[in-house]
């Protein structure tokens, strides 16, 4: 073979090897990627235990979210664990059972004053409910 052919054959082999290495690296990095890792390198996936909060629209009631919750329970293996009712004075009453290890928990948030436009009250309710969820996702909770 001529020197010119050996040169192009060498370049082709280098290019093919480079493409192979890049593909191998991309596949392996996707399989081992994790945004949350513990100190010993174990993957911590909290997406299954993070609750989804269903909130009805302005002027509606809890019945407006019932069909969405039923669909999530049937098709997404979700579980309604709590109903948080916000009274007119802003106090929150929680009802339900939230067992430890519940996968895809759902919390239904219902406002008694469903036409109140005070978004500060809504913000405070979400903040209170969010704090409660952070404290209680690791343990079993029963509320009446």
pLDDT digits (tens, 9 = 90+) for 13-67: 888 878 878 877 777 665 544 444 444 444 444 456 778 888 877 777 777 788 8
Q: Average pLDDT in the 110-116 region? A: 82
What is the pLDDT at residue 43?
45
What is the pLDDT at residue 137?
58
Residues 6+ apart with CB under 8 A from 58: 114, 115, 117
- Strands 105-111 and 52-55: what pairing? parallel
Per-residue pLDDT of 69-102, as tens digits, reads 888 888 888 888 888 888 888 788 888 888 877 8
What is the pLDDT at residue 29?
64
What is the pLDDT at residue 38?
43
The DSSP annotation for 8-37 comes to: HHHHHHHHHHHHHHHHHHHHHHHHH--S-B
Q: Which residue has the higher pLDDT, 44 or 131?
A: 131
* Helix, strand, coil percentages, rounded to 5, for the chain: 40, 20, 35
């Amino acid at each position: 073979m001529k020197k010119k052919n050996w040169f192009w054959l060498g370049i082709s082999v280098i290019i093919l090897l480079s493409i192979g290495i890049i593909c191998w690296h991309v596949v392996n990095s996707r399989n081992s990627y994790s945004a949350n890792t513990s100190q010993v390198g174990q993957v911590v996936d909290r997406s299954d235990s993070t609750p989804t909060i269903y909130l009805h629209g302005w002027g509606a009631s809890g019945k407006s979210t019932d069909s969405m919750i039923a669909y999530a329970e049937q098709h997404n293996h979700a579980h309604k664990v709590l109903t948080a009712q916000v009274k007119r004075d802003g106090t929150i009453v929680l009802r339900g059972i939230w067992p430890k290890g519940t996968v895809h928990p759902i919390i239904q948030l219902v406002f008694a004053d469903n036409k109140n436009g005070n978004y500060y009250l809504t913000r405070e309710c979400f903040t209170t409910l969010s704090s409660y969820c952070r404290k209680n996702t690791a343990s079993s909770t029963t509320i009446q």
